[in-house]
Amino acid sequence: MKLAVIYSHPVQYTAPLFRELANRPGVDLIVYYLSRHGTEVSFDPMFGQAFKWDLPLLDGYNYEFVPNLRKEAGVAGFFQLMNLALIDRLRKAHHDAVLVHGYEHFAKWPAFAAAKSVGSRVVFHGESHLNEPRTALRTAVKSVVLRSLFHSFDAFGYIGTLNRQYFEHYGVPAEKLYLTPYSVDNDFFATKVREAAPRRHEIRTALGITDSAPIILWTAKLTEVKQPELMLRAFAKVRGGRPCHMLFVGDGALRSKIEELVGYWNIPNVKITGFVNQSQIPEMYAIGDIFAMPSLREPWGLSVNEAMSAGLPVVVSDRVGSSLDLVEQGRNGFIFPHSSVDALATRLDQLVRDEPMRQAFGRRSVEIISKWSIKETADGILAAAEGGREDG
């Protein structure tokens, strides 16, 4: 099978998947990237700084950076990626199947038509769900546009339950739907966490955490949609009754505000690391005891996968897309109403106070995430590309 994947830019989460696909017998894979964002030092407005991922993103599979008519400056914005040369690539290559991730950039729209024009099977892959507020106008426009667009695709890879419901809402029939579970390299995180475990005390001490009290871990950008202030308010309630630590791993526009609130409210045991690159992230999971993601909007939340592969209990809001698939209420974690400080504080307090519960939840997290792996994702993509049925 000649399989092409169209992606806006290299991402740390997809590189292991592309290597897995490239290693499958009979698969001739090429990934068309529309931007070099992430492989070169570039500014990310949500991180609030320039960065470059420090793990190999391009090893182990064939790829091409398709020229962009616009001078690259990130990937945000519909007209930011104008890679019209992609049309010629797809027409000449005659791929058996073309998987396109998302419709948020202009360059992908003519690519849909180009692939169809030469008989390629076009598979759409996205992350969207309906579990967030939208205006009536936006809802009406999307209904018309997406129903028409989705009608033209041969298959859809859905990342989880909420994403499947999204496609069904816009008229995609069951026979076109294939589970392609949103996954991370579980083995990488589990291995790195085990390697870091003997240095747990050393790593905590380097961060200024000198006691053995539990650490509540956050690994996300400090932006409004992630709700760091709600997280801080909930931690203050928990910390008022029992020693524990709040470790914000990340950076972003709200960092200075969170630091000001920590001082203004006089909340002890709060640490903000700033941006931590991928090679060091497993160390943060190795010293964490509880993982929290209180996002207001989160299509999936791959940090939940990471935390679970590291053996942590997870507490997530009901706006986190992975909640229905990965969080078993009262077994490996908790789901709480996204706007409730008290509900989040209550769930965190339960876990802070009960070490056996944390350990049991962590073991269940590992069991659940073991079935949500890169292998299953690759299986689903190939099933969608070939047109066979494995689910749905």
Strand 42-44 vs strand 49-51: parallel, antiparallel, or unpaired? antiparallel
CATH superfamily of 2-183+373-386: Glycogen Phosphorylase B; (3.40.50.2000)
What's the pLDDT at 254?
96
Encode burial over 27-43: b for 16+ CB neighbours within 10 A, e otherwise.
Answer: bebbbbbbbebbbeebe
What is the distance between the alpha carbons of residues 142 and 150, in angstroms, rounded to a whole number? 11
Instruction: Read off the pLDDT of residues 27-74 as tens digits, 9 standing for 90 and up.
Output: 999 999 999 887 876 656 555 666 666 788 999 999 999 999 988 667
Compute the distance between CA of residue 100 and CA of residue 126 in angstroms, rounded to an integer: 8
The predicted structure's pLDDT at residue 50: 61
Alpha carbons within 13 A on the beta-carbon side of 291: 30
Structure tokens of 192?
A: 């790195």
10-residue mean pLDDT profile of the chain (392 residues): values are: 96 95 98 89 60 81 94 80 95 96 93 95 94 81 89 96 96 97 96 96 96 97 97 97 96 96 96 91 97 96 98 97 97 98 98 98 98 97 82 44
Alpha-carbon dihedral of residues 3, 19, 190, 9, nearest 10 degrees?
-80
| DSSP H/E element including 89 | helix 85-93
Percent of the chain surpassing pLDDT 90: 83
What is the C-alpha to C-alpha distance for residues 17 and 267, in angstroms, rounded to an integer?
A: 41
SS3 category, 40? strand
pTM: 0.92
pLDDT in tens, 104-129: 999 999 999 999 999 999 999 999 98
pLDDT score of 42: 64
In the chain, CATH 3.40.50.2000 covers: 2-183+373-386, 186-369
> How does pLDDT run across 327-341, given as a tens digit for each residue?
999 999 999 999 999
Distance CA 63, CA 305 (A): 26
Give the contacts of 342 (CB within 8 A, at least 6 positions apart): 234, 237
Give me the phi and psi of 199, to 5 degrees please: -100, 15
State which amino acid sits at residue 166. Y
pLDDT at 389: 45
CATH dotted code for 186-369: 3.40.50.2000
Query: 327: which 2 tokens?
Result: 């969080």
